[in-house]
Structure 1
Amino acid sequence: MSWNRLALIVTVVFFSVYSLNAKELHILSEDELIIQGLLYDEYRAYENSREIFGKLYDNTGAKEYLFREITSALLSGTHIPQSIERLQLWDKSHPDTLEVKRLLIPLYLTNQQLEKAKDQADYLIERSSEPRDLDLASNPYLYMGKFKKALDLLNRVYEKTHHEGVLLRIAAIMDEYTGERKKAIQLLEMHRRMNVVHSNQLYFKLLTLYIKENDVDNVLEVYKLLYAQDKKEKYLSKIIDAYAYKGDMDGAIDFLEKNRVKEKTLYELYKAKKYFEKAIKLANKLYRKDKDAKWLAEKAILLFEKAKDKDDKKMLQEVISLFEKSISQGVDDSIYLNYYGYTLIDKEIDLKKGIKIIKDSLVQQPNNTYYLDSLAWGYYKEHACKKAYETMKKVVDKEGLEEPEIIEHWDAIQKCK
């Protein structure tokens, strides 16, 4: 029967047919053999489908069966020399058939006959300007290391189709073999701006090229594009990493504000930049949202750091109130305890309470020099000079005299009597 009759077959596949062995193939009709072959193809049993279609070709001489046989051989990677011989025999009787050239090129490449593959490619190029033929013909040149010729063919394909996959191959060749990375970037960027991007592969390729160029700005921009279309956490993390690498905290703040994401990261950036009003507003919002009392302690710190007059009584009372409220709601992080205790000590609000709170923070981190410095300062304020000296000496022995506050405390404590 002709190949076109396949469209008229109503197929009901029985696995008893699927399980037939080669010796039983001769008892099947042409229609049954076709069904068998297609079933093998569906299950990617290409070695078996090659045998079926080979049998059909031997029985009928129909080229469609031969071409299916050869295709199955290529997909299975078996019987390549035999397939070449069978196709060459058909080619002698039916010269100038482009379908044959299209099959011979991958057959010769698989069989490492590069020159013969190139000859078939040249023949194909002379007689066809179809994108699929130019694409196929580029492969022998790639195998032979003739990258300029391969690029010429692939560029012609891309000009006709604007296919992303072809462009990605062009970019890879330019990057890895012809030293034209910047040109590859230009082509990819032009495609991105002038066409609808159908997959993330183009963006990933741009990222690879920009990373090789150490172009952090454009790496950042590509991750922004990826995040804009796909709100994945991994893209957001890369964006923040890129801003951190650049040291551009304001850029990171602007991005997070516009996208309304990573509020806790945004809060830390506000603190780092000393944008106290924004940080306080966000701390209030976060406390309302999750009821975590640590935001009360954070707000207390912000209010104190924001104040121009660190001795302002109204401000200090509000700071104390916030710390007390946070502690009553379960906050016991040593960082907050130390800050609160030191404030009570340094401003001489309640020395005994301040020292007790510092000691509580030291239970969590007994060797923390910042906390020991606070305790030494508490002893100094109490005029417990010996305790102050012994405690502060531990700090100096470990940290040296580099930080201004340590120097100030050490000088004062040494003069304590």
Structure 2
Amino acid sequence: MENEELKIKQIYQYTNILITLFFLLFIIGCSAKKPQIGKKAFDKEDEYIMKALFFESNGDYNKSIPIYEFLYKKTNKRIYLDKKIEDLFYSKKYNDVIKEVEDLCKKKLCDDKILRYEVFAYLNLGKLNEAKELLLRKLNKKDEFFYSVMSYILISEGKESLALEYIKSLYALNPNKNNLLKLSDFLIKLKKYNEALAYLRTHLKMYGCDYDICIRLADVYKSLYDYDNLANIYEKLGVYDIKFYILAFNIYIQNKEFKKAERLIKTAKLGDEYYLFLYLAKKDYKKAAYKSLELYDKTGKLNYLIKYCEYLYASHPTKEELRDIIDRLKFVVNIKKDAYLYNFLGYILIDNNINVKEGIKYVQKALNLDPTNEEYIDSLAWGYYKLKKCKEAKELIDYVKLKDKTILRHKKLINQCIKENNDFRQNNKSNKNRLRKKKK
């Protein structure tokens, strides 16, 4: 039983043949549920039909099969025999399916619809040669079913090159989406990427960006690291889901194609937030700052106001802009008690010699909330340095182990300050000694 289930899964994986089968069976099933059987052959015919359909709906084929057999013998209506074979197949009685179909063929009553059940019965029994022989001998060679099943059998036999020709013929016979995906997937499996791309691109030009086709194209471009074409396909897929526009935007940003990114923001209407991402990628901090301020004015979200202060400070602000940053940060820290913001405000006051003592007070507030943060300790040390309290600065900066460029510069200047003070004391002491000697 498990082996049979595995075989069915393999059929799905390679060529989706069973999808075709179940589609056909669905049609057959629907036609049986509303059979055009004409005049009733006997009074209780409808009653038997309802019983059979009830058992079918519950998957109890062992009870529906004998009812259809009885109905066929009683009425001689072909539809009941077809339904019997269908239920034999569903109940996995594959040898019985083969026998029933062969009996019909001997009576010259078999048709393509019934023969397909026999083909699949052979496949589920692992009898590939018998299935192939039946296909070649009795099935219509201009039918999609023929090419689909033949390609599956050839793949199972390891004859992939020949199987490919059958799949190409299948697509040529009916160039629909499913057949194209079957063909392109098999070409990709064979690492024939350029050929797969040729089929997919041609289909795209002729029929437009069907979701599944464009997704498959995107998969191929991703495999080939072809990000230019990948971004283009993502843009086309954006009409189905905005996430694809965002994926395209990210590729443009990573590739520094800023004009394309800006165009996409406009055409896809991604929103002002994406202008912010764009300006940051370009390191245009001034524009990023004022876009953040614009977003703050629109939304009232405090985070945008904080970003405005950060980006504007990174843009080497004018004195007027620096004053604006300080005023806005003071407004923010009155609302939000945050160590990072206290330190940020304090450092600006200290580093720009605006109000070092006030800056130290803000940094101390930050350290009260986060006493071991080395960046905040550095800010306090820098404040003491600015007040010429180099000894206190040195005691603090020695705790800092970070290798940040700015912190290393602070350390160097503080150590230099200590050295200069020591030299000054040493020189002062030497001068005093000389004076004492002269007096003597």
Give me the TM-score of the superposition, normalised by structure 2: 0.76
Match of 2:396 in 1: 391
Shift of 1:346: 1.1
What pairs up with 1:178-257 in 2 under 5 angstroms? 178-198=190-210, 200-231=211-242, 233=243, 235=244, 238-239=247-248, 242-243=251-252, 246=255, 252=261, 254-257=263-266
**Aligned residue identity for 2:164:** L
Match of 2:9 in 1: none
**Aligned residue identity for 2:355:** D
Q: Is the 8 A contact 1:249 1:269 kept in 2?
A: yes
Shift of 1:47: 5.2
Q: Could you say if the C-alpha distance between residues 244 and 50 of structure 1 is closer, same or farther in structure 2, counting changes exceeding 3 Å?
A: farther
Q: Could you say if the C-alpha distance between residues 33 and 209 of structure 1 is closer, same or farther in structure 2, counting changes exceeding 3 Å?
A: farther
Counterpart secondary structure, 1:64: helix
Match of 2:341 in 1: 336
User: How far apart, in 1, do the equivalents of 2:198 and 2:279 lie?
Assistant: 37
Match of 2:82 in 1: 67
Counterpart secondary structure, 2:354: coil
User: How far apart, in 1, do the equivalents of 2:227 and 2:198 lie?
Assistant: 16
Q: Deviations over 1:79-102 (max 9, x none)?
A: 111111111111112177433432
Match of 1:157 in 2: 170
Q: Deviations over 1:309-340 (max 9, x none)?
A: x5x43333222222223333x13443333222
**Aligned residue identity for 1:356:** K
Q: Deviations over 1:48-100 (max 9, x none)?
A: 544433333344444332222222333x2521111111111111121774334
Match of 1:284 in 2: 293
Q: Could you say if the C-alpha distance between residues 240 and 3 of structure 1 is closer, same or farther in structure 2, counting changes exceeding 3 Å?
A: closer
Q: Could you say if the C-alpha distance between residues 70 and 203 of structure 1 is closer, same or farther in structure 2, counting changes exceeding 3 Å?
A: farther
Q: What's the RMSD between the two structures over aligned residues?
A: 3.3
User: How far apart, in 1, do the equivalents of 2:44 and 2:214 lie?
Assistant: 52
Match of 1:316 in 2: 322
User: How far apart, in 1, do the equivalents of 2:37 and 2:163 lie?
Assistant: 42
Q: Is the 8 A contact 1:131 1:160 kept in 2?
A: yes
User: How far apart, in 2, do the equivalents of 1:35 and 1:378 lie?
Assistant: 92
**Aligned residue identity for 1:391:** L
User: How far apart, in 1, do the equivalents of 2:320 and 2:32 lie?
Assistant: 93
User: How far apart, in 2, do the equivalents of 1:134 and 1:390 lie?
Assistant: 83
User: How far apart, in 1, do the equivalents of 2:388 and 2:33 lie?
Assistant: 105
**Which structure would you say has the larger RCO, counting Cα contacts within 8 Å and 6 or more residues apart?**
2
Counterpart pick for 2:113 among 99, 113, 117: 99
Counterpart secondary structure, 2:347: helix
Q: Is the 8 A contact 1:124 1:133 kept in 2?
A: no
**Aligned residue identity for 2:310:** I
Match of 2:151 in 1: 138
User: How far apart, in 2, do the equivalents of 1:111 and 1:36 lie?
Assistant: 30
Shift of 1:384: 1.7
Q: Deviations over 1:349-405 (max 9, x none)?
A: 11111112122223444333332222211110112212211221222xx224x62x2
Shift of 1:9: 8.2
Shift of 1:264: 3.8
Count of residue pairs the alignment pairs up: 386
Shift of 1:248: 5.7
Counterpart pick for 1:270 among 279, 290, 293: 279
User: How far apart, in 2, do the equivalents of 1:258 and 1:48 lie?
Assistant: 62
Q: Is the 8 A contact 1:299 1:322 kept in 2?
A: no
Q: Deviations over 1:159-204 (max 9, x none)?
A: 232211111111222222x332331232122212211455x33333
Q: Could you say if the C-alpha distance between residues 141 and 247 of structure 1 is closer, same or farther in structure 2, counting changes exceeding 3 Å?
A: same
Give me the TM-score of the superposition, normalised by structure 1: 0.80
Using the aligned pairs only, state the percent identity.
25
Q: Is the 8 A contact 2:88 2:96 kept in 1?
A: no
What pairs up with 1:370-381 in 2 under 5 angstroms? 370-381=375-386
Counterpart secondary structure, 1:228: coil
Q: Is the 8 A contact 1:147 1:173 kept in 2?
A: no
Counterpart pick for 1:110 among 124, 127, 131: 124
User: How far apart, in 2, do the equivalents of 1:66 and 1:346 lie?
Assistant: 93
After superposing on structure 2, the runs of 4+ consecutive aligned residues of structure 1 that deviate more than 6 Å are 2-5
**Aligned residue identity for 1:392:** I
**Aligned residue identity for 2:330:** E
Q: Is the 8 A contact 1:124 1:137 kept in 2?
A: no
Q: Is the 8 A contact 1:293 1:331 kept in 2?
A: no
